[in-house]
Amino acid sequence: MQARRNCWRYDWVVDLDMKAFFDTIDHDLLMKAVEKHVPESWIRLYILRWLKAPVIQEDGSRLERDRGTPQGGVISPILANLFLHYAFDAWMARTFPHLPFERYADDVVCHCRTKEEAEALLTALNHRMSECRLELHPEKTKVVYCKDGRRKGDHPHTCFDFLGFSFRARTVQDKQGNLFTGFNPGVSRKALKRIHETLRRININRATWAYLRQLADWLNPMVRGWVTYYGKFYPQPLERELVKIDLRLGCWARNKYKRLRGHKRQSWAWVKKVRMAQPTLFAHWEFVYSKKVG
């Protein structure tokens, strides 16, 4: 992950949050960017009409739109990235070519060598966003010190979230087995909460119509997605969340099998017995237990 490597090389981060970005994109500035890449006038006309199409609210009234792109629209991500390419990417390349950054849509982090450099960049970015008729969120935008075992000193902000990961000081192990404190990413609390809510919403506890293999086929694509994305860096918080699936499987077993009803410990023992017999049945079993077994 490039953000991880840059946090090792640079001591400071400017964590940007654009206030209501998709709702405040200026149509005139956006169409100027579109004109640079779309020579066909009829395509530009369709894009403009699509941007300015009124919104029908729940009470039936029409809300006219003079700015913003519809969230969830099929081309909103493309237009938003095109807008920020000129509003941010190209501007950074001209104005601060020595400072690296990572951007995904409106989620942006910039890396600086010193606190003074980070504060100067933040001041310049506030001015730039104002020129582009955008606004940085005054509370969520912040300068962050990438404090770890080798970086001394204090600062109010020593962690930030980016693309579902929380970057902060963590105890890690090097190739020789030595422990040290490094500035590294791990799945964020918000991402863990979304995972928890997803598992709660699908409510496998009550799916007594299903066999265990059907539950696995239902859960595994989601779990593998989480593991592939979040499990590469500092996997322990994700492991602790996914192992709770076993509690839900135990509840499912108590609801499905009469002999297990009212017997929590027996149901958990039943889940463990199945796991030992079929360790690859559920994707979270492979992720959580394979390393411990090996």
> Comparing 294 with 8, which gets the higher pLDDT?
8
What dotted CATH number matches 2-145? 3.30.70
pLDDT for residue 91 = 97
Tell me the average pLDDT across 200-211: 91
pLDDT for residue 294 = 41
Q: How confident is the model at residue 47 (pLDDT cuts 50, 70, 90)?
A: very high
Annotated domain spans of the chain? 2-145, 188-289
pLDDT for residue 58 = 80
Tell me the average pLDDT across 51-62: 83
Residue 182 has pLDDT above 90, yes or no: no
Tell me the average pLDDT across 57-83: 86
What residues contact 73, with CB distance under 8 A and at least 6 apart? 50
Q: Lowest-confidence range among 58-67, 94-103, 248-257?
A: 58-67
Tell me the average pLDDT across 77-88: 94
Inter-residue long-range contacts of 143-148, CB under 8 Å, 24+ positions, other chains counted? 143/12, 143/13, 143/14, 143/15, 143/115, 143/118, 143/119, 144/12, 144/13, 144/14, 144/15, 145/11, 145/12, 145/115, 146/7, 146/10, 146/11, 146/12, 146/13, 146/183, 147/183, 148/181, 148/182, 148/183
Q: What mean pLDDT value characterizes the chain?
A: 91
pLDDT for residue 292 = 56
Residue 154 has pLDDT above 80, yes or no: yes
DSSP codes joined into one string, 157-206: ---EEETTEEEEEEEEE-TTS-EEEEEEEEE-HHHHHHHHHHHHHH-GGG
Residue 291 has pLDDT above 90, yes or no: no
Predicted TM-score (pTM) of this structure: 0.86
